[in-house]
Structure 1
Amino acid sequence: MIKINIICIGKIKEKYFTDAIAEYAKRLTAFCKFNIIELSEERIKNNIPNRSQIDEVIFSEGKRIMQKISPSDYVVAMCIEGKPMSSEELSTLIDNASVSGKSTVDFIIGGSYGLDESVKKRADVRLSMSRMTFPHQMARMILSEQIYRAFEISSNGKYHK
């Protein structure tokens, strides 16, 4: 059974997001081993950070993300400059990763300042959810739903219409 990880920066505080993610996680147990790996967000003491402070945060978060990725994992970096995909294309991406011998697919959601270049370079695919900006908590919920939808598409389930 394939393992799907969402490796992300920050914790979700809103119950409605955690409830929705928990529901998709429960549904995903029929298809994969699904994990959410939350890493703490770096703090900046200054309310108006300069570019150097932001770069330091991105670098530090990137180092911790990279420690959670195994060399054999298939990595999908969620970033604005990534390729947009349909639900069907995401389903194919997960299927192809599995068929090519990858036992783990890691979806990476960075912190509020984005992903370090090292994470993007390690990624097999850069994926954009939209040209719009979403809160990271909402992105995690949407991604969880889309992963579930991808498995439903692969299994010809009724969920995807």
Structure 2
Amino acid sequence: MLRITVIAVGKLKEKFWTAACDEYLKRLRPYAKTAVVEIADVDPARAGGVDAARVREGEGILAAVPEGARVILMAIEGEQRSSEGFSQHLDELALRGESDLAFVIGGSDGVSDAVRARADETFSFGPVTLPHNLARVVLLEQIYRAFKISRGEPYHK
């Protein structure tokens, strides 16, 4: 079974974000072992600047990546795919034996150079800027949709 880890900087504070993520994690259970790992966001004012905060967050991100996982960085400049294309890509990764995927959603100031260097690929939802909470929900929904598309199953709204 495919293992998917979503590594996200910051905690979900509002209940509606948590409820949405929980719903998609529940829906994903039959398809993949899916987990979300939250990395504490670092206040640049307390860290000695934006770069220092990115580095500290990056250390947390890299520590959370499962050993041997393919790292997919969510970045606005990443490759854009349709839902069908994303589904096909996940299928291709699975066929190549990539059974452990780690999706990374960085903090509001982006990610460190070390995280970018560790990423095996970047993926984008397009040129729009999404709040990180919403990006997490959209990512989980798109992973769920990808499995439904791959199996030819109807998508339940």
TM-score range for the pair, normalised by the shorter chain length: over 0.9
Question: Does the 8 Å contact 2:25/2:34 carry over to 1?
Answer: yes
Q: Quote the RMSD (CA, aligned, Å).
A: 1.8
Q: If the length of structure 2 is used for normalisation, what is the TM-score?
A: 0.93
User: How far did 1:71 drift?
Assistant: 4.3
Deviates more, 1:135-144 or 1:87-96: 87-96
- Report the secondary structure of 2:73's partner residue: strand
Task: State the match for 1:75 in structure 2.
Answer: 71
User: Quick check: 1:15 aligned with 2:15?
Assistant: yes
Question: Residue 112 of structure 2 is aligned with which of 112, 116, 122?
Answer: 116
Query: Runs of at least 4 residues of structure 1 off by over 4 A?
Result: none
Amino acid at match of 1:45: A
Amino acid at match of 1:20: A
User: Quick check: 1:30 aligned with 2:27?
Assistant: no
User: How far did 1:128 drift?
Assistant: 1.0
Residue by residue over 1:22-47, the C-alpha shift from the partner in whole angstroms, topping out at 9 and shown as x without a partner, is 1111010010001000011112337x
Task: State the match for 1:90 in structure 2.
Answer: 86
Question: Does the 8 Å contact 1:83/1:127 carry over to 2?
Answer: yes
User: How far did 1:70 drift?
Assistant: 3.4
Structure 2 CA distance for aligned equivalents of residues 54 and 149 of structure 1: 35
User: How far did 1:120 drift?
Assistant: 1.6
Identity, % of aligned pairs? 39
Structure 1 CA distance for aligned equivalents of residues 88 and 52 of structure 2: 36
Aligned positions of 1:32-71 closer than 5 A = 32-45=32-45, 53-71=49-67
- List alignment gaps of at least 5 residues for structure 1: none
Structure 2 CA distance for aligned equivalents of residues 54 and 89 of structure 1: 35
User: How far did 1:122 drift?
Assistant: 1.5
Structure 1 CA distance for aligned equivalents of residues 63 and 21 of structure 2: 24
Q: If the length of structure 1 is used for normalisation, what is the TM-score?
A: 0.91
Structure 2 CA distance for aligned equivalents of residues 81 and 23 of structure 1: 28
Amino acid at match of 1:54: V
What number of residue pairs does the alignment pair up?
Answer: 157
Task: State the match for 2:141 in structure 1.
Answer: 145
